[in-house]
Structure formats: structure tokens, C-alpha cells
Amino acid sequence: MTRITLPRPDDWHLHLRDGAMLTGVLPETTRHFARAIVMPNLVPPVVTGAEAAAYRDRILTALPAGAAFEPLMTLYLTETTDPADVAAAAASGLVKAVKLYPAGATTNSHSGVRDFDKVRGVLEKMAEIGLPLCVHGEVVDPAIDIFDREAVFIETVLDPIRRATPGLRVVMEHITTKDGVDYARSQDDTLAATITTHHLILNRNHILVGGIKPHYYCLPVAKREHHRLALRAAATSGETRFFLGTDSAPHVDPLKECACGCAGCFTATNTMQLLAHVFEEEGRLANLSAFASENGPRFYRLPVNTATLTLEKTTTAAHWPAKIETGAGPVTVFDPGFPVFWHAID
């Protein structure tokens, strides 16, 4: 198979930032994606329905001319989040999910949750109305090794939350371990999991061997090879509980290439070509539509897009810019480290 047409894909985990960065990176997503779940970890975070509406307006204002793209808004869960505001924002159709960041787990997560008992009321309201909880699944205990934080989170935080809140719909975002894959498969259809493009390609050696590669550093950090292989098997399986969330996360180069570099890989530009490469390698190209275009909408109870995207393999390697120049500064595009011969045909 050298050509595949699929419903226009969606990105179920995307960072767009704000201001000049938003304006600079948004066209990279709208080129191929019809919709995206937009992360709320701005400074200050998007906590209320009113703040989500204002952020959505800024995104729509920044859209390139002629772009057909719908931002799907989320709220940032804090220990003072008002359940009634969450319910009203969901009922209006504005907000499609609430994002849980354990405080200190990743970029701009300092306003996140420390005491999970303090968000019990919000979670119960979300279970009642069917609003998904998107979870950054890592513990922040300094005694826990960074490569074990996802597995420990599942055991000590996520599973207890699900048992205490029957019916709560949960998305395990950007899973990076076999533990995450196995847990997702063990649960009912109220739980799903997103997988990023870069975690299908990277293991921890790519970050560290031959010198530190700052543009491969992300959170959750890439793990051992057997975890990467488990993610590839899950993503390409066609199982409805797994779908694409790129976690494309732009940072300007000076903040990546420094003594304490920011976490994040910017993959909005080339995700679809890279996914075609990965799915072809696994002999599962026919399942790309399920992963990128079908499973996510069904979990979020939205229609599959009617517009399409065609990917074609040729004998000429694909090219994309090494950097995206934004008003905030240059952002390096994710480099898989191998040639890719798939091209997106708009």
C-alpha cells in the first residue's frame, strides 16, 4: 500500500500556548488536523469557563485564512475549581474535558492538584454529566525514580480515583509504558489512552546516548525499548481505547537548549507522515485511520470528520523545515532521525 485516505485526523492532546507562539505554531496543526483538545496550562492557567471562552476566541482569531479547524477547550483542575462552573461550561458545549495535572509534574503544572480529596466534588460532578478527565499520569514524589512515575501513579492515584468515582470517564494521556498499556486494556470502556507520535519513535537511549539531545526530552520521559514496542503494538492494534494525542509542545530553542531545558517535542508539523511510516513498519497501515481519525471522536462522543486527508508514499524523502520561526522565537521541529517517504496531500 502506497496511498491511504482517511477521515481528517484530530489531535486529542495539543499545546498551542498563547500570544506570538500561538500565532506561529497554529498553522502547523491546522494544515492536517480538523480538531484538537487544547491544553489549558497557560500562565495563568485556564481554570474557568469564562477563561476557556476567552482563550478559544484568541485561537480562532489566530487561525490562518481559510483554515477549517475547531479548538476543543479544556479546564485546568485546581483544588478550588467550582463543580457548577465546570458543569455549565460543559453544558454550553464549550468545554470537552477537564485536565488533571499533579502539581509540579510538568510544564506550568504548579497550580495543579496536591490533595486529591479536595477535587472529589468536581470528579463526582464530571462522572454525573459524562465529562472526561484527561490525566497527566505521573507522581511527583522525589523518592520515585522518574522512569517509574507512571506505573506508580496508576497504582496509587489513578486506580483509587476510578474506584472511588464510578462512571468517571478518563483519558490516560500520553502513556509511555507497558504498564499503561496493560492497565488501559484491563479497564472498561470508560477509560481510554492517548499515545504520542514521538513515544512511538524514541526510547531513552535517543535522549542520552552520544550526548544529551534536548529536543528529544519530554515529560513523561521516553522509557526503555520494551515500553516503546508495547506502545507501538497498542497504537497500531486498531483497539478502540487507543488514539492519537500528539502532546506537541512548542518551546523556543533558547529554553530547550540550556542548562535546565524545557520538556516537550514539537511534532505538529510532521506527525501524520511519521505515523504512516510507523504503521507501515508494523504492517498495520490499515489501522492508521482508527488511531488518528476514528477512536478519539467516538470516545469524546463527537462525529468522525467527513473531510479527508490522503497520505502517499513515494521514492522521494519528505522534507519539512528544521525550525518554525515564530514571533516568540524559533521552535525546532521533531526530527525522527531517519528518512520518511510519506507525504500528506491536502
Q: Which residues are catalytic?
A: 247
Q: Taking Cα atoms as reference points, which of 313, 199, 335 lies closest to residue 269?
A: 335
Residue ranges of domains in the chain: 3-345
Please answer whether residues 96 and 132 qualify as being in contact, where contact means their C-beta atoms are separated by less than 8 angstroms: yes
What does pLDDT average to over the chain? 96
Phi, psi angle pair for 92, to nearest 5°: -75, -15
Q: What is the per-residue pLDDT for 108?
A: 62
Enter the CATH code of domain 3-345: 3.20.20.140
For residue 329, how many other CB atoms are within 10 A of its CB?
17
CA angle 249–229–276, rounded 5-degree value: 60
Chain segment 274-290, per-residue pLDDT in tens: 999 999 999 999 999 99
- 133 strand-pairing partners: 98, 170
Query: For residues 63 and 300, what is the distance between their CA atoms, to the nearest angstrom?
Result: 23
Q: Which strands, in side-by-side order, build the sheet including 10-14?
A: 10-14, 35-38, 70-76, 95-100, 133-136, 170-173, 191-195, 242-244
Residue 244 Cα to chain centre, angstroms: 7
pLDDT tens-place values along the chain, 346 residues long: 899 999 999 999 999 999 999 999 999 999 999 999 999 999 999 999 999 999 999 999 999 999 999 999 999 999 999 999 999 999 999 999 999 998 877 776 777 898 989 999 999 999 999 999 999 999 999 999 999 999 999 999 999 999 999 999 999 999 999 999 999 999 999 999 999 999 999 999 999 999 999 999 999 999 999 999 999 999 999 999 999 999 999 999 999 999 999 999 999 999 999 999 999 999 999 999 999 999 999 999 999 999 999 999 999 999 999 999 999 999 999 999 999 999 999 7
